[in-house]
């Protein structure tokens, strides 16, 4: 029996562009669903919402907010779960600080984010804020493995309306630079636990002293446990060399990390790059910078703000920057460099964008240039390196004829590196890090030096088995090439292969699958899609993320259009909307010009799947009718080119929602499976059609001047509604 207090479907409240889109789209969903007796509730997983839920003691009774993320985290473990998950902000420190400041200015007496906590009280506040930082949402909700692909109509639309792709020339100087030793890839050790075990991580000093870095770990039998580290010295030497080479090669220096998801390791690596790039400044003014509270991990933007009143240091910075290779820019108009904010350049979005542009990035002069793409760790860098080599050799991909790479990703229960931040440490002094099991066995041991970044990641047996089964099911459904992107020479992957092979053999399907290292799998998949065929990439958690941006951006222009299904291990469904993020640039455009170019196609696809799931899971035939009509409406959006345009004055996100509502109502009015629903939606469809002109002109006249949302992270709902629902005629129909 369904728990009557849980809505049939939960739609998440998030941040930035997708949340703006929700202000327009969710009322439509709720109106239509209600007519079919389907309830659609919301849960707030926005950055501001999570901050407010974390500090009830600092807030007044009215200001307090329930911990919706924790509730959703429980829900996804129940078979009742049916959640539509929109992308949310994974906050870097500068974003978290900005969000806290905004909330404080709105009258929420939150504590400041303690940058360098010294007292116990400050440390406690910091620990609370740290739980909100980075990718704090997805790992909690993703209690299943992932199935991401372009829905058939979306793929054919992209083929019929191919987007522009930058040209590649053989002479392109763009390349990927990666460490060949001393990185996570080369230092990795991995073992599969035969029995369940507890573990602790200790740092043993040269003097024999023991520091417990982490205690109380526990793993079920069959867990694959990895440990590795990145040498700080090797990283610095590598960065210094690449900064020099970039200048010699005459390219842009660009650094590509994932400081949001890898929230402990990657801001540290980012900080090393900031220090390496400004080495002469740190050598000369290191003490002054420290005194000014500079933390290189927060980026050049923060550093510059802290030396605003120190002309000598500013001059030195300018001199060094002028002498270095030009930097790849986030926003050349505003002088925002690659090293300004750790979360501005995120590898899974930044590398595909650069590749799609023909290996070009924006330089400080506002023009496109070749770039040296610095990706320190070598675990996954070969994917980008091989893609670049392949396009240099063969020229750009043609989206009109290209096939598609689907993905089955191992993700459940914080699998692999993406679950490693609680077990990642910046090493305080030389010694050796040991991972010690409850019975005293030393599972892994590494000699480390001050500043090295050591981490352990784990992957549980049940998710691995579920992932292999999902791959078998998908391959059977598609009948196409299917490749496990696993490298037998890499410690972790070798353990996974020991799981994969016996399962494939036992099921008698080994001949339908290949196992290839990421570099070889990249080339094979590119060759396959070049021929117009489909390939299924069966990957771990990081490649799931990277590939479901890389291939969609090449094939469809954006990963926002992806179907992204998480089959929850306990029976529920989590439907992610697209494979991209929350598009901060889109908010900027809306605020300046009142035009929202966010494409809700991901939401449309997810809604269709969610209704279909509701129909199957609870025998809800009305939900089935509603879901089929959603698919028809999505098809209508594509067939009639109703997706948002990028430019102000042209139809935007809000127009696309009008069209979606109209096609949805028309499909419901004309279907014959449920006459009651048909009768209900007939007049709605008619009214939406008759009033087309009025609605479109009301929507159009809203555009062109700045829009006031009353906030960025914590917008004013009334103001947002006024901006996002500017058509009184449409509002009267939707209610």
Query: Judged by CB under 6 A, which of 201, 300, 313, 346 binds ligand NAP?
Result: 346
Q: x/- contact string, 600-629, with ligand NAP (CB under 6 A)?
A: --x---------------------------
Q: How far apart are CA 278 and CA 314, in angstroms?
A: 11
Q: Which of residues 110-139 bind ligand NAP (CB under 6 A)?
A: 138
Residue 20 CB partners (closer than 8 Å, separation 6+):
586, 587, 590, 596, 598, 653, 709, 720, 723, 724
Query: Judged by CB under 6 A, which of 188, 302, 417, 599 binds ligand NAP?
Result: 599
Residue 634 near ligand NAP by CB under 6 A: no
Query: Judged by CB under 6 A, which of 349, 402, 471, 543 binds ligand NAP?
Result: 349
Residue 348 near Mg ion by CB under 5 A: yes
Residue 24 near ligand NAP by CB under 6 A: no
Please count the other Cβ atoms lying within 10 Å of the Cβ belonging to residue 710.
14
Q: Which DSSP letter does residue 289 get? A: H
Kindly list the distances between the CA atom of residue 268 and the CA atoms of 285, 414, 434, 451, 610, in Å, as whole numbers in the listed order: 20, 21, 22, 9, 39
Angle at Cα 61 formed by Cα 60 and Cα 62, nearest 5°?
90
**Residue 357 beta carbon to ligand NAP: minimum distance, rounded to whole angstroms:** 11
Please count the other Cβ atoms lying within 10 Å of the Cβ belonging to residue 35.
17
Q: How is residue 185 written in tokens?
A: 């890839």
Kindly report the backbone phi and psi dihedral angles of residue 579, in degrees, each rounded to the nearest multiple of 5, phi listed first: -120, 15
Kindly report the backbone phi and psi dihedral angles of residue 62, in degrees, each rounded to the nearest multiple of 5, phi listed first: -70, -25
- Taking CB under 6 A as the binding criterion, the range among 99-107, 230-238, 528-536, 577-585 that sits at the site for ligand NAP is 577-585
Query: Judged by CB under 6 A, which of 578, 608, 627, 636 binds ligand NAP?
Result: 578
Kindly list the distances between the CA atom of residue 187 and the CA atoms of 183, 226, 238, in Å, as whole numbers in the listed order: 6, 10, 16
Residue 417 near Mg ion by CB under 5 A: no
**Residue 549 beta carbon to Mg ion: minimum distance, rounded to whole angstroms:** 4
Q: x/- contact string, 243-282, with ligand NAP (CB under 6 A)?
A: -----------------x----------------------
Residue 90 near ligand NAP by CB under 6 A: yes
Query: Judged by CB under 6 A, which of 583, 590, 625, 688 binds ligand NAP?
Result: 583
Please count the other Cβ atoms lying within 10 Å of the Cβ belonging to residue 127.
11
Q: Indicate the residue among 10 and 435 with the shorter CB distance to ligand NAP.
A: 10
Residue 582 near ligand NAP by CB under 6 A: yes
Q: Which of residues 120-149 bind Mg ion (CB under 5 A)?
A: none
Q: Indicate the residue among 68 and 545 with the shorter CB distance to Mg ion.
A: 545
Query: Judged by CB under 6 A, which of 55, 598, 604, 659 binds ligand NAP?
Result: 598
Q: How far apart are CA 692 and CA 627, in angstroms?
A: 24
Residue 576 near Mg ion by CB under 5 A: no
Q: x/- contact string, 523-562, with Mg ion (CB under 5 A)?
A: ----------------------x---x-------------
**Residue 350 beta carbon to Mg ion: minimum distance, rounded to whole angstroms:** 11
**Residue 348 beta carbon to ligand NAP: minimum distance, rounded to whole angstroms:** 7
Query: Judged by CB under 6 A, which of 443, 560, 685, 709 binds ligand NAP?
Result: 560
Angle at Cα 231 formed by Cα 227 and Cα 237, nearest 5°?
155
**Residue 545 beta carbon to Mg ion: minimum distance, rounded to whole angstroms:** 4
Residue 73 near ligand NAP by CB under 6 A: no
Q: How far apart are CA 159 and CA 251, in angstroms?
A: 33
- Taking CB under 6 A as the binding criterion, the range among 85-93, 320-328, 387-395, 414-422 that sits at the site for ligand NAP is 85-93
729 SS3 class: helix
- Taking CB under 6 A as the binding criterion, the range among 167-175, 419-427, 473-481, 597-605 that sits at the site for ligand NAP is 597-605
- Taking CB under 6 A as the binding criterion, the range among 101-109, 308-316, 415-423, 596-604 that sits at the site for ligand NAP is 596-604
**CB 540 within 8 Å of CB 496:** yes
- Taking CB under 6 A as the binding criterion, the range among 76-84, 88-96, 246-254, 695-703 that sits at the site for ligand NAP is 88-96
Count of residues interacting with Mg ion (CB under 5 A):
3
712 SS3 class: coil
Residue 83 CB partners (closer than 8 Å, separation 6+):
9, 10, 12, 43, 72, 75, 76, 141, 572, 573, 574, 575, 610
The residues that bridge with 409 in the sheet, in sequence order, are 146, 539
Q: Indicate the residue among 30 and 88 with the shorter CB distance to ligand NAP.
A: 88
237 SS3 class: helix
Q: Indicate the residue among 96 and 243 with the shorter CB distance to ligand NAP.
A: 96
Q: Indicate the residue among 68 and 549 with the shorter CB distance to Mg ion.
A: 549
Q: How is residue 74 written in tokens?
A: 């429980």
- Taking CB under 6 A as the binding criterion, the range among 326-334, 521-529, 574-582, 693-701 that sits at the site for ligand NAP is 574-582
**Residue 340 beta carbon to ligand NAP: minimum distance, rounded to whole angstroms:** 14
Residue 88 near ligand NAP by CB under 6 A: yes
Task: Write out the E strands in 463-533.
Answer: 481-485, 514-516
Q: Indicate the residue among 30 and 564 with the shorter CB distance to ligand NAP.
A: 564
Residue 358 partner contact from Mg ion, ligand NAP, none using kind-dependent CB cut-offs of 5 to 8 Å: none
**Residue 348 beta carbon to Mg ion: minimum distance, rounded to whole angstroms:** 4
CA-based nearest residue to 427, from 452, 402, 460: 452
Q: How far apart are CA 49 and CA 13, in angstroms?
A: 9
Return the axis-axis angle of helices 347-356 and 541-556, rounded to nearest 10°.
30
Q: How far apart are CA 66 and CA 148, in angstroms?
A: 31
Kindly report the backbone phi and psi dihedral angles of residue 292, in degrees, each rounded to the nearest multiple of 5, phi listed first: -80, 5
Residue 223 partner contact from ligand NAP, Mg ion, none using kind-dependent CB cut-offs of 5 to 8 Å: none
- Taking CB under 6 A as the binding criterion, the range among 145-153, 248-256, 361-369, 575-583 that sits at the site for ligand NAP is 575-583
Q: Indicate the residue among 346 and 733 with the shorter CB distance to ligand NAP.
A: 346
Q: Indicate the residue among 409 and 578 with the shorter CB distance to ligand NAP.
A: 578
Q: How far apart are CA 227 and CA 420, in angstroms?
A: 10
Burial class (CB in 10 A: 0-12, 13-18, 19+), 181: exposed
Residues that bind ligand NAP (CB under 6 A): 87-90, 138, 260, 343, 346, 349, 558, 560, 578, 580-585, 597-599, 602
Residues that bind Mg ion (CB under 5 A): 348, 545, 549
């Amino acid at each position: 029996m369904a728990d009557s207090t849980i809505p049939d479907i939960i739609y998440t409240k998030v941040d930035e562009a997708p949340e703006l889109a929700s202000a327009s789209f969710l009322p439509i969903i709720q109106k239509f669903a209600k007519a079919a007796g389907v309830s659609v509730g919301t849960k707030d997983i926005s950055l501001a919402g999570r901050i407010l839920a974390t500090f009830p003691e600092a807030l007044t009774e009215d200001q307090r907010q329930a911990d919706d993320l924790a509730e959703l985290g429980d829900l996804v473990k129940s078979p009742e779960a049916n959640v539509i998950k929109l992308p949310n902000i994974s906050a870097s420190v500068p974003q978290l600080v900005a969000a806290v400041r905004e909330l404080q200015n709105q009258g929420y007496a939150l504590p400041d984010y303690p940058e360098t906590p010294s007292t116990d009280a400050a440390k406690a506040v910091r620990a609370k804020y740290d739980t909100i930082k980075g990718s704090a949402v997805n790992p909690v909700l993703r209690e299943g493995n992932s199935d991401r692909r372009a829905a058939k109509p979306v793929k054919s639309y992209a083929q019929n309306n191919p987007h522009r792709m930058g040209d590649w020339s053989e002479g392109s100087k763009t390349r990927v630079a990666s460490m060949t030793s001393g990185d996570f890839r080369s230092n990795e050790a991995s073992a599969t636990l035969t029995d369940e075990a507890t573990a602790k991580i200790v740092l043993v000093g040269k003097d024999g002293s023991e520091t417990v870095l982490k205690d109380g770990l526990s793993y079920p039998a069959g867990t694959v446990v990895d440990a590795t580290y990145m040498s700080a010295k090797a990283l610095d030497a590598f960065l210094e060399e690449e900064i020099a080479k970039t200048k010699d090669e005459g390219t842009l220096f660009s650094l590509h990390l994932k400081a949001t998801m890898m929230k402990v390791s990657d801001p540290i690596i980012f900080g090393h790059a900031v220090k390496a790039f400004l080495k002469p400044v740190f050598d000369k003014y290191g003490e002054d910078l420290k005194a000014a509270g500079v933390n290189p991990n927060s980026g050049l933007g923060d550093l510059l703000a802290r030396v605003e009143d120190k002309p000598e240091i500013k001059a030195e910075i300018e001199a060094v920057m002028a002498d270095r290779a030009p930097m790849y820019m986030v926003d050349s108009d505003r002088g925002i460099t690659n090293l300004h904010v750790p979360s501005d350049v995120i590898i899974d979005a930044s590398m595909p964008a650069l590749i799609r542009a023909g290996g070009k990035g924006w330089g400080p002069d506002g023009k496109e240039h070749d770039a040296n793409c610095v990706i320190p760790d070598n675990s996954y860098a070969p994917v980008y390196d091989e893609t670049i080599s392949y396009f240099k050799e063969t020229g750009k991909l043609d989206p009109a004829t290209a096939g598609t790479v689907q993905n089955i990703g191992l993700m459940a229960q914080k699998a692999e590196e993406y679950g490693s931040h609680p077990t990642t440490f910046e090493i305080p002094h030389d010694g050796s890090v040991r991972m010690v099991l409850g019975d005293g066995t030393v599972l892994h041991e590494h000699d480390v030096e001050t500043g090295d970044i050591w981490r352990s990641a784990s992957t549980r047996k049940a998710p691995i088995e579920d992932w292999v089964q999902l791959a078998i099911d998908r391959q059977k459904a598609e009948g196409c090439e299917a490749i496990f992107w696993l490298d037998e020479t890499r410690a972790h992957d070798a353990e996974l292969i020991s799981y994969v092979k016996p399962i494939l053999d036992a099921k008698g399907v080994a001949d339908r699958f290949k196992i290839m290292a990421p570099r070889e799998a990249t080339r094979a998949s590119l060759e396959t899609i070049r021929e117009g065929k489909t390939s299924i990439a069966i990957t771990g958690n990081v490649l799931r993320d990277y590939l479901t941006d890389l291939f969609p951006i090449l094939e469809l222009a954006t990963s926002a259009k992806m179907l992204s299904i998480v089959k929850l291990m306990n029976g529920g469904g989590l439907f992610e909307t697209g494979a991209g993020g929350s598009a901060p640039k889109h908010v900027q455009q809306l605020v300046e010009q009142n035009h929202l170019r966010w494409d809700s196609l991901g939401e449309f696809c997810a809604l269709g799947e969610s209704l279909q799931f509701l129909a199957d899971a609870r025998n809800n035939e009305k939900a089935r009718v509603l879901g089929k009509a959603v698919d028809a409406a999505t098809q209508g959006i594509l067939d009639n080119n109703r997706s948002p345009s990028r430019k102000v004055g042209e139809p935007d996100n809000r127009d696309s929602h009008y069209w979606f509502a109209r096609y949805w109502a028309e499909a419901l009015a004309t279907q014959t499976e449920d006459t009651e629903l048909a009768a209900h939606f007939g007049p709605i469809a008619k009214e939406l059609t008759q009033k087309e002109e009025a609605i479109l002109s009301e929507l159009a006249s809203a555009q062109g001047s700045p829009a006031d949302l009353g906030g960025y992270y914590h917008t004013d709902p009334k103001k947002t509604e006024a901006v996002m629902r500017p058509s009184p005629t449409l509002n009267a129909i939707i209610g």
